[in-house]
Amino acid sequence: MTRAAWLFAAPALLGLLLFVALPFVLAFVLAFTNLRLGSPLPLEFVGLEQFHRIFSDPAFLRALLNNAVFALVVVPVQTLLALGLALLLNRRLKGLALFRTLFFMPVVFPLSLVSVVWILIFAPGANGMMNAFLETVTLGAWQPRDFLHDPVLALPAIMLTSVWQGVGFQMVIILAGLQAIPGGLYEAAAIDGASRWRRFWHVTLPQLRNTLIFVVLVTTILAFRLFDQVQIMTQGGPRNATTTAMYEAVQAAFARQQVAKGAAITVVLFLIVLLVTVLQRRLVRQEREIA
Amino acid sequence: MKRWWVNGALYLGLMALALVFIAPILLMVAGSLKPDARVLIEAGSWRALLPDSVSLRNYGDVFSRVDFTRYLLNSLWITACVVVLGLVVNAMAGYAFARMQWRGRDLVFGLVLMILIIPLEAIAVPLFYQVTLWGWRDTYVVQIVPFIANAFSIYLFHTYFLGLPRELEEAARIDGAGVLRTFVSIIVPNARPAFASVAILTFLTQWGAFLWPLMVTSGEAVRPLPLGIAAFYTLPPLQWGDIFAFGVMMVAPVLLLFLVFQKWFVRGVAATGVKG
Amino acid sequence: MSRRWLIVIIVLGLSGCSDDAATPERPDVIHLRAWAHAGQAAERRVIQAQVARFNERTPDVDIKLTLIPERSYNAQVQAAAIAGDLPELLELDGPYLYNYAWQGHLQPLDGLLPGDLSNDLLPSIIAQGRYRGRIYGVGVFDSGLGLYASRRALSRAGARIPGGPADAWTAQEFTALLQALAAHDADGAVLDLKLNYPGEWFTYAFSPILQSAGADLIDRNGYQSADGVLNAPAAVKAMTTLQAWLRGGFVDANVDDGAFVTGRVALSWAGHWEYARYAGALGDDLLLLPLPDFGHGTRTGQGSWVWGMTATGKRAEAAARFLRFLLEPGEVLAMADANGAVPARQAAIANSERYGDGGPLRLFVEQLTEGYAVPRPQTPAYPVITAAFQQAFFDIRDGAEVRAALDRAVAAIDQDIADNKGYR
């Protein structure tokens, strides 16, 4: 069995090794140097200098905080929303396929394009679509705001854009998981007289467990990789209110040509996310034991 | 009787929700049909969503200003290769992790999960140095091969395969089928939703890939679509109508793909026939 | 099954290797590659026609032109530079020239350009192309930056109209003007600073304020430090004034890039590329004025695309012939007419409708020839300088304490220069 297993897994493992693991190890090594993009000066090892610099950089520390807040809000919101939508759409009703497509559409459009549209939506002044919408909904109580330049509203604006884009993504995966639940289980529960709620709680959720764990894990990881919207909509502003670790890393490596510093940021980010996901998985395992 | 009005409420609710979801997209589509100047000026009003005059000039512009067909074919080729090869390679790996017992399995799987965390931006520069060393610049290969193996896809397949009933494989084993036969004839047909999800999500990621092609290509021969749109971002004022038209045309193939693969979702897992 | 896939992969690999059609090279013809930015349609047509004409004229040199999208141009050039894959001739975005020269990719052009040509070029073009005393790049056109205004709105506010750069409004006059205009304006926003533009604009358009105030982005004696220059009291004062305009509600967010053409604002701080659109919207009401004087005279930005060369030896000779061709007065004028920029040669300017004597954009020429235009710092540290200044600008716009924001920029710049051993 072992030989067959290795044969099955080998091509993928080789690919990951060569094209992800290897460059990452290289990046890890680079974090201890002073490499700059295109510089003709010789490469030097500088030990922990880059790490020292990033931890004394208020922008980076704020970025980590923003990433944490973002993850803590977006992961539950997006997952619950995706679960709700998937449940609503997991029926054999006519026309639901259309809705599936509609909810999935935000995922289909490239983020770079969509972010531009969101800039228009968040435009300041009473004419901005979001401002107009909120004014209508609150019956005139809302004062127009410049969302993307407001220190309090900027990060929520980015969160909204992310949730909007990501929900369809997660919904598709949860739907696949829902489809995998054998119908027989529901029938058995119905025969036992279980109500809709109990069927959900005792059949759907347990069967969905793996899928949900997957979705939460991936959403968490993606939350820490937040970059595109920040680059296009706020450039990390106002005054670091929306900067993220990846944004700082890309700015360092590409805008300021400090490749080594960018590498150091990604190494730190990697370790943090690793910690978070290990904790998450440990937590889930414990729950399994208790149940 | 109760049936139809519950369904009616459901439809209404879904429509309201759907409208919120697609409003930004409507804005883009409407913008692609307007002459440039009006796109931004009308952005604040409801006219942003429904243009009062429709013109296909922007779409014409897209073809005349850039070599759209070539970029389209490049993107199609590259993405198709990554998706197809990826499905094979990652499904096999996902199956090995989910259903086969082998030494080191859990350790290696843990490593794969760790790789999931690494974003492209983190390895872009070292990978760039690597592929330059191998002389891969300005080719299709450099845009395809690094992306075939994908930790996310492996994990997705793994999760899905875990959920399949073991009876499927047991039945096959009783029939004397080897691992490969079992995989191909039993598991794969029963994992359509997983294959569909991975195909769509991989297609999306590859289709929109911008940073990597930017770094590793320069000529027009192998340039993919997302780089093509950069051609519209010349000196301000930007031609939003053209940009949106390009964007709409760029997503059309993906939408088509999704509509096709949707059926695989709906069909779901066929009754296994094993459970009583 | 796995063998079939192996074959697919091999085929892929092979196909990947052969997708650049190899044109057989004739031994007596020198083949050169040239990269240019893909600008507006008219610009592209002109450069493509120019390459075609040159190839016809000089049968022993063949130029193959690749156009690369403008927005991603710098990134692609940088990537190619690292890969050692730069073409023999390429355009560069002006202030990034020095970094490539320092990296050792560019060859000096001294001696390859005839004397009469150098004398006829605008002094700003020579200044921009010079690094360490040698010319590494030459521009076919330069840029113009000024204040577009609505004559009617100004007279309604009772403002005096400056006659030329020597006569520019002072910063205080300008602030008072903003207030006077705002009194008649619906939303109080009367000035367009193109806040919707991407990054480099902010350094290009607003670092002249520093120079006008007697400060600068960096100490140009040696380019070793920005301390005491970028965060000088004069700089702090100037940027505080700018902050007051921004925070005082005088500046339109310009999300639709239409504040000036739709009449929402009376003033627009913009470049030569807006002339056509503005003239179309305002007609005779359009005025072009110098930027405000913050104490040491009005200053404005300059610089645009330049052509550089990586070729050596015989290929360098051939490449230089192409550059000399592009710099012929007729060709210079053709490009300038296409993109609306300031022609690099006096001979071409004389024949230009817009920039010749009495032309509507004559101010830009005056600014470039009479020393009002200041080149962006000619140092390999420029990418870091511009990134730091942009960050400071954004922070200041969002209400940060000006001195602190400028200090942060200085720290980033000085750190980078130290890291690169002074860019020697």
Is residue C250 domain-shared with residue C347, that is, in the same domain? no
CB atoms within 10 A of CB C285: 15
Give the ipTM of the model, two decimals please. Answer: 0.83
Instruction: Determine whether the interchain pair C255/A235 forms a contact, defined as Cβ–Cβ distance below 8 Å.
Output: no
Q: Is residue C164 helix, strand or coil?
A: coil
Per the domain annotation, does C418 fall within a domain? yes
Query: In chain B, what are the domains?
Result: 1-55 (no CATH), 66-267 (1.10.3720.10)
Q: What token pair was written down for C71?
A: 């927005």
Q: Which positions in chain A touch C102 (Cβ < 8 Å)?
A: 40
Q: Are C335 and C46 in contact (CB under 8 A)?
A: yes
- Backbone phi and psi for residue B92, each to the nearest 5 degrees, phi listed first: -60, -45
Roughly how many angstroms between the first and final C-alpha of chain B, as a whole number? 34
Is residue C174 domain-shared with residue C269, that is, in the same domain? yes
Instruction: Determine whether the interchain pair C71/B233 forms a contact, defined as Cβ–Cβ distance below 8 Å.
Output: yes
* Nearest by CB: B262 against A100, A259, A274: A100
In our burial notation (b when 16+ CB lie closer than 10 A, e otherwise), range B209-226 reads bbbbbbbbbbebebbbbb
Per the domain annotation, does C1 fall within a domain? no
What is the tally of structural domains in chain C?
2
pLDDT at B23: 86
Measuring CA to CA, which residue among C151, C156, C166 is closest to residue C290? C166
Q: How far is CA A221 from CA A278, B110, C8, C139, in A?
A: 11, 15, 33, 47
Q: How far apart are CA C92 and CA C96, in angstroms?
A: 7
Is residue C138 domain-shared with residue C205, that is, in the same domain? no
Per the domain annotation, does A19 fall within a domain? no
* H or E stretch at C134: strand C134-135
- A89-121 pLDDT, tens digit per residue, is 887 777 777 888 888 888 888 777 778 788 888
Q: How far apart are CA C331 and CA C348, in angstroms?
A: 9
Closest residue of chain A to B93, computed from CA coordinates: A9
Task: Tell me how many degrees the CA angle C181-C182-C186 measures, rounded to the nearest 5.
Answer: 120
Is residue C42 domain-shared with residue C54, that is, in the same domain? yes
* Nearest by CB: A40 against C78, C104, C187: C104
Place of tokens 């052969």: C18
> Could you tell me what percentage of chain C is helix, strand and coil, using 3-state DSSP and rounding each to the nearest 5?
50, 15, 35
- Beta bridge partners, C32, equal C63
Residue A195 belongs to domain spanning: 58-290
Per the domain annotation, does A46 fall within a domain? no
Is residue C57 domain-shared with residue C102, that is, in the same domain? yes
Q: What token pair was written down for A240?
A: 């670091």
Closest residue of chain B to A250, computed from CA coordinates: B121
* Nearest by CB: A235 against C102, C394, C416: C394
Whether the ω angle into residue B236 lies within 30 degrees of 0, i.e. cis, is no
- Residue C225's contacts (CB-CB under 8 Å, 6 or more residues apart) are C218, C219, C410, C413, C414, C417
Q: What is the pLDDT along chain A (291 residues), one digit of tens a residue?
A: 678 888 889 999 999 999 999 999 999 999 999 888 878 888 889 989 999 999 999 999 999 999 999 999 999 999 999 999 888 888 777 777 788 888 888 888 877 777 878 888 888 877 778 888 888 888 888 888 889 988 999 999 999 999 998 898 888 888 878 877 777 888 888 888 778 788 888 888 888 888 888 889 889 988 998 888 898 889 888 889 999 999 999 888 888 888 899 999 999 999 998 898 888 888 876 554 443
Residue C135 belongs to domain spanning: 29-143+303-374
Task: Tell me how many degrees the CA angle B261-B263-B269 measures, rounded to the nearest 5.
Answer: 105
Task: Tell me how many degrees the CA angle A135-C189-A234 measures, rounded to the nearest 5.
Answer: 65
**Is residue A40 packed enough to be buried (19+ CB in 10 Å), middle (13-18) or exposed (0-12)?**
exposed
Average pLDDT on C386-397 reads: 94
Q: What token pair was written down for C101?
A: 């020269």
Share of chain C above pLDDT 90, in %: 71
Average pLDDT on C197-222 reads: 94
Please report, as a single letter, which amino acid is at residue B258. F
pLDDT at A291: 38
Q: How far apart are CA A151 and CA A138, in angstroms?
A: 22
- A124: contact with C, CB 8 A cutoff: yes
Per the domain annotation, does A233 fall within a domain? yes
Is residue C214 domain-shared with residue C70, that is, in the same domain? no
Q: What token pair was written down for C164?
A: 């030329």
Measuring CA to CA, which residue among C47, C2, C22 is closest to residue C334? C47
CB atoms within 10 A of CB B255: 15
Q: Are C127 and C368 in contact (CB under 8 A)?
A: no
DSSP one-letter code for C328? S
Average pLDDT on C314-334 reads: 92
Per the domain annotation, does A4 fall within a domain? no
Is residue C352 domain-shared with residue C314, that is, in the same domain? yes
Check whether C23 has a pLDDT greater than 80.
no
- Per the rule left: phi > 0, alpha: psi between -120 and 50, beta: everything else, C7 is alpha
- Backbone phi and psi for residue C77, each to the nearest 5 degrees, phi listed first: -65, -40
- pLDDT < 70 stretches in chain B: 1-2, 36-49, 51-52, 234-237, 263-276
CATH number, domain with residue C223? 3.40.190.10
Is residue C270 domain-shared with residue C396, that is, in the same domain? yes
Chain A interface mutation, best of C3, C255, C384, C385, highest count of A Cβ atoms under 10 Å: C255
Is residue C164 domain-shared with residue C276, that is, in the same domain? yes
* pTM score above 0.90: no
- B3: contact with A, CB 8 A cutoff: no
Instruction: Determine whether the interchain pair C394/A238 forms a contact, defined as Cβ–Cβ distance below 8 Å.
Output: yes
Place of tokens 């074919």: B73
pLDDT at A289: 44
Query: In chain B, positions 172-201, which contact chain A (CB-CB < 8 Å)?
Result: 179-180, 183, 193-194, 196-197, 200-201
Per the domain annotation, does A99 fall within a domain? yes
- C238-287 pLDDT, tens digit per residue, is 999 999 999 999 999 888 788 999 899 999 999 999 998 899 999 999 99
Q: Length of chain A in residues, anyone?
A: 291
Is residue C259 domain-shared with residue C385, that is, in the same domain? yes
Closest residue of chain C to B184, computed from CA coordinates: C1
What is the tally of structural domains in chain A?
1
Q: Which positions in chain A touch B154 (Cβ < 8 Å)?
A: 12
Q: How far apart are CA C261 and CA C388, in angstroms?
A: 32
In DSSP notation, chain B reads -HHHHHHHHHHHHHHHHHHHHHHHHHHHHHHHTS-HHHHHHTTTSGGGTS-SS---HHHHHHHHHS-HHHHHHHHHHHHHHHHHHHHHHHHHHHHHHHH---TTHHHHHHHHHHHHT--HHHHHHHHHHHHHHTT-TTSSHHHHGGGTS-HHHHHHHHHHHHTS-THHHHHHHHTT--HHHHIIIIIHHHTHHHHHHHHHHHHHHHHT--HHHHHH--SSTT--HHHHHGGG--SSSP-HHHHHHHHHHHHHHHHHHHHHHHHHHHH-SPP-S---
Instruction: Determine whether the interchain pair C255/A254 forms a contact, defined as Cβ–Cβ distance below 8 Å.
Output: no
Alpha helices in C267-306 (DSSP H): 275-282
Q: What token pair was written down for A26?
A: 């290289």
Q: How far is CA C153 from CA B157, B262, C159, C184, C284, in A?
A: 66, 59, 9, 9, 13
Per the domain annotation, does C21 fall within a domain? no
pLDDT at A177: 80
Is residue C209 domain-shared with residue C272, that is, in the same domain? yes
Per the domain annotation, does A71 fall within a domain? yes
Q: How far apart are CA C140 and CA C349, in angstroms?
A: 12
Is residue C393 domain-shared with residue C415, that is, in the same domain? yes
Check whether C89 has a pLDDT greater than 60.
yes
Could you say which of C374, C391, C412 is where a domain stops? C374
- How close A256 gets to chain C, by Cα (Å)? 5
CB atoms within 10 A of CB A184: 12
- Is the Cα torsion angle C349, C351, C355, C358 positive or negative in sign? positive
CATH number, domain with residue A162? 1.10.3720.10
- B133: contact with C, CB 8 A cutoff: no
Q: How far is CA C298 from CA A42, A261, B164, C170, C243, in A?
A: 43, 39, 75, 8, 19
Q: How far apart are CA C288 and CA C151, in angstroms?
A: 10
